[in-house]
Amino acid sequence: MKRIALRLGLAFATALTLSGAAPAFAQAAVNLKFLVGGQHRPDVYRELFKEYAAANPGVTVTLEVGGATSELLQRYLNTVLTASDPTLDAFLIDVVRPAQFAAARWSEPLDDYFGAEREAVLSKYLPLYRAANTIDGRTVSLPAFSDAMYLYYRKDLLDKVNETPPKTWDDLARIAKKVLAQEKDANLQGLSFQGKAIEGAVCTFLLPYWSLGGEVVKDGKLSFDRQKAEAGLAMWRRMIAEGVAKSNVSEVGTDDTRKEFQAGKAVFAVVWGYAWNLFQNAPDSNVKGKVGVVKLPAMPGGESVSCMGGWSYAVSAFSRNKAQAVKLVRWLSSPAVAKTLALKGSMQPVFGDVFTDPDIVAAIPWFRDALPVVETARPRPVTPMYRPVSDALRLNLNSVMAGARTPQQALDEIEHRIGRALR
């Protein structure tokens, strides 16, 4: 009898295994390692991963925190992925990186995991963010959260001079000078923007250039309009020459702009969406309740354009748990998680209907103003050779702002460096 029972038990276990219904005790525990940057609210992600583990028995997610900037996080990922290290299963990457990761074969292509659900999954995203994560027709990452550059302005100071937010950069300069003359405050500047040789300076170069319809990379080749690029550089130089922006703007980075405006030392500021929450809620903010946000000004005869920011979720091509990592990333890139990230971390969604969700609007009213700006945003040049493109734009923008190069010299260098990188 004992032998018969043993045989029956083994037969039953074998049948379960063959049918895909393996006993619970046979399932191996999976621990996924997920990398975020220090600026990505690790505290919020830890809460999310606890929720995910509770809903997925046998799966845990360990959070690893990398550098506090896009550049530092990318440097770490370069080291890990160049070595084909399987330690990381998934990670956040800057929205400018999917083409680079796909070309290097560092990110796992996702379409095969979606099957027939592919279009249903991807059609929910804002079109710009779906496109940013689709390279050569393949989905290589999923949108995490959006961002864009905004024009922040002091509502109280514009009210004092009976002005409304500017529609053009020339109008901004006029209003700023009017406010500065009224306030007579030596510590107040008209406009703060990024002139330092950082990634944000790429956007500083592109904003007026894009406004006039300029391109940098098209169909993988250099596409450059010197006349439009020169007009953009000349506009920024005028801001300095006319005293609207400070003379050492070449030393101003992203968070410098945020701090200057937050301290009440600027009438206008061009900076990313993260700044809003600090303007309104930071204990040391001098502008709480005094800030408005609108689309960026246009060049004369051009249109308002913003610079696309944000982050994406990618699965490591070297992960030993790819299917589970894809499942995690799909959950993280869902409307429900986007709502949590917005409410708890002030991270902007990648879904239009989450921007206008009643709970979101009640908690974060400015998101109503943010969506139209996000919809005007353009991606920085999409190319596997993004690094040399970025270097050429940001370094030369910085040189012009510092007065070390003329616009013509900078444009010669930009054309040479990008043309060589894209050959």
pLDDT tens readout for residues 246-278: 999 999 999 999 999 999 999 999 999 989 989
What pLDDT is attached to residue 18?
36
Beta bridge partners of 36: 65
What pLDDT is attached to residue 24?
41
What pLDDT is attached to residue 243?
97
Element (H, E) at 154: strand 142-154
Mean local confidence (pLDDT), 285-293: 96
Residue range(s) occupied by CATH 3.40.190.10 in the chain: 27-147+309-378, 149-308+382-421
Superfamily, domain 27-147+309-378 = Periplasmic binding protein-like II (3.40.190.10)
3-state secondary structure (DSSP) of residue 297: coil
In contact, 373 and 395? CB cutoff 8 Å = no
Q: At what angle do helices 226-241 and 386-402 cross, to 10 degrees?
A: 40
Cα 314 to Cα 384: distance, rounded to the nearest angstrom: 16
Superfamily, domain 149-308+382-421 = Periplasmic binding protein-like II (3.40.190.10)
Q: What are phi and psi of 273, to 5 degrees?
A: -65, -25
H helix runs in 242-321, sequence order: 254-262, 274-281
Name the residue with tokens 């770490």: 76
Element (H, E) at 244: none
pLDDT(27) > 70: no
Could you report the per-residue pLDDT of 173-229, keeping only the tens digit for each? 999 999 999 999 999 999 999 999 999 999 999 999 999 999 999 999 999 999 999
Q: Per DSSP, which regions of 66-111 are E strands?
A: 90-94
In contact, 163 and 306? CB cutoff 8 Å = no
- Nearest 5°: the CA angle 139, 141, 142 is 100
pLDDT(386) > 80: yes
CB neighbours of residue 186 within 10 Å? 7
Could you report the per-residue pLDDT of 4-22, keeping only the tens digit for each? 443 434 443 443 333 344 3
What pLDDT is attached to residue 55?
97
